[in-house]
Structure 1
Amino acid sequence: MLQVCLNGRRGPGDSAAVPVVPGALAEAAAAAVAAGAEDVHVHPRTPCGSDTLSPRVLAETLTAIRAVVDVPVGVTTGAWAEPDPVRRLARVRSWTVLPDHASVNWHEPGAESLAAALLDRGVAVEAGLWSGTDGPARFLRSSLAPRVLRVLAEVTDPSPDTAEDTARALLATLAPLARSPHARPVLLHGEDGSAWPVLRLALSLGLDTRIGLEDTLLLPDGTPAVSNTRLVAAALAGSAEPGASAPETVSA
């Protein structure tokens, strides 16, 4: 499965290609899905461009995107959108239009309660496990681990030279889950300099992965990406390159 991550915390100041308002996000999602993306991850934004968990903005964004795509649409619950765990939980409980799934970064304060609240509301959870944090260890101890939709394994190492090693180390940390009767699918991805090396590793291992302007502004050859669609097309072209391994089911 290839997910498209439309915008993240980036904005027009990073690249004119980054969509922000609901209409632009919907247009970008439709084009990316037409190019082969099977899932959408989006950061709803305030009119001034900040990430938000506002029920009104979330509803506008999800409604616009769902009007043009028929794949699952998920959102972030990152602490940068609302640093206070109590207020973040209240925001999620006030949502009037629900996403299909939401990512919860397990190293952030209040992650366990937030994930439980989402599950109680019928929203699937992507467990965000970042390299270089205690998120993976905390997740391995969590009673909610068997209930998440997938593990979102994120390589935060920005170096293309060491990203693959960091990714393999992160996957090794999650190995106990792979031996569990409650194993969950893994979506492995990187960011910035690690985006393409980690995507290639994920494809070679048969894992789910993602690409989009949240993770990188550059195509594999280093030229600026003019759209999420171009990134999706490049990722799918890479999966068909000679020597790429056939997909297999790998979970953790």
Structure 2
Amino acid sequence: MAGPAREVPRALMQVCVNGAQDIADHPALHADPGLAAADAARAIAAGAGAIHVHPKDAEGRDSMSPDDVARWVRAFREACPETPLGVTTGAWIQPDIERRIHAIARWTELPDFASLNWHEAGAPRVADMLHRRGVRIEAGIWDATGLAAWRESPLRGECLRVLIELPDEAAEVVRGHAEGLIAHVRAEEPDIAILLHGEARSAWPALALAAELGLESRIGLEDTLVLPDGRPAADNASLVRAAAALAGGA
């Protein structure tokens, strides 16, 4: 059985390599962890500093089972041995909270961190189990409900970072939406790291805003399948290179 997860330095930019999409949505999305890990390694070489991945079962569906998590964590450790690695704990994978917690309790290969959406039912119990396993927590905050739940948690200050997660929304509302959530997080934990990211239409505006504000960011095929100019992205590395160029300009 693996020992405690490693201490994780703060990352400037994460690559979110797959997400919950169907693997048919893009040629670079894989059910094979070795192929996904090789793609992640190219993204790290392009400038990403950490990895967020959704372990999959043999059919390409998101999974939290100990066997699937172990296969994916081992593959990514082999391909990117020095890179902080995180996984998802999304409730859509296993809606039954007891089964979700039981799965985490039986993980044999531990990631460095795991994202936890605080608006989801049972989030405090999932946080407690991750903390007891030695897995750092990325607190995913989408809205006021998640913010309130995170605010009440005794583990609030123990989180590795807060993810300000914007939905697929128009570019012109990104700044107001993001800055409102950021202000509330800063009021509670002034020194906590904040990672700002969007999805689909908001992905690139959110990344540009993160660069402007000096926040951590992420990009990858989970958040968008296209480059800033609307052209299809070849893979995660192409998204990371475009993000680095955009952040450098900002």
TM-score by length of 1: 0.91
Kindly provide the CA deviation profile for residues 77-103 of structure 1, in whole angstroms up to 9, marking residues without a partner as x. Answer: 000110011110000001011000001
Let me know the Cα RMSD of the aligned residues.
1.2
Amino acid at match of 2:203: A
Kindly provide the CA deviation profile for residues 109-157 of structure 1, in whole angstroms up to 9, marking residues without a partner as x. Answer: 11111111111111111001113x5001111121110111110110114
Map 1:72-87 to 2 at 5 A: 72-87=84-99
Pick aligned residue for 1:176 from 187, 199, 211: 187
Amino acid at match of 1:145: R
Amino acid at match of 2:89: T
SS in 2 for 1:114: helix
Kindly provide the CA deviation profile for residues 51-96 of structure 1, in whole angstroms up to 9, marking residues without a partner as x. Answer: 0101111111111111111111100000011001111000000101
Pick aligned residue for 2:247 from 232, 239, 249: 239
Map 1:106-145 to 2 at 5 A: 106-131=118-143, 133-145=144-156
Q: Show the counterpart of 1:46.
A: 57
Q: Which runs of 4+ in 1 moved over 6 A?
A: none
Tell me if 1:206 matches 2:229: no
Distance in 1 (alpha carbons) for counterparts of 2:42 and 2:31: 15
Q: Show the counterpart of 1:59.
A: 70
Distance in 2 (alpha carbons) for counterparts of 1:172 and 1:102: 23
Tell me if 1:103 matches 2:115: yes
Q: Show the counterpart of 1:247.
A: none
- Percent identity among equivalent residues? 47
Tell me if 1:217 matches 2:225: yes
Runs of at least 5 residues in structure 1 that lack an aligned partner in the other structure: 245-252
Q: Which has the higher helix share?
A: 2
Tell me if 1:158 matches 2:169: yes
CA contact (8 A) 2:119 2:145 kept: yes
Q: Show the counterpart of 1:13.
A: 24
Amino acid at match of 1:13: A
SS in 2 for 1:134: helix
Aligned residue pairs total: 238
SS in 1 for 2:25: coil
- Tell me how far 1:16 sits from its aligned partner: 1.7
Runs of at least 5 residues in structure 2 that lack an aligned partner in the other structure: 1-11
Distance in 1 (alpha carbons) for counterparts of 2:75 and 2:28: 18
SS in 2 for 1:18: coil
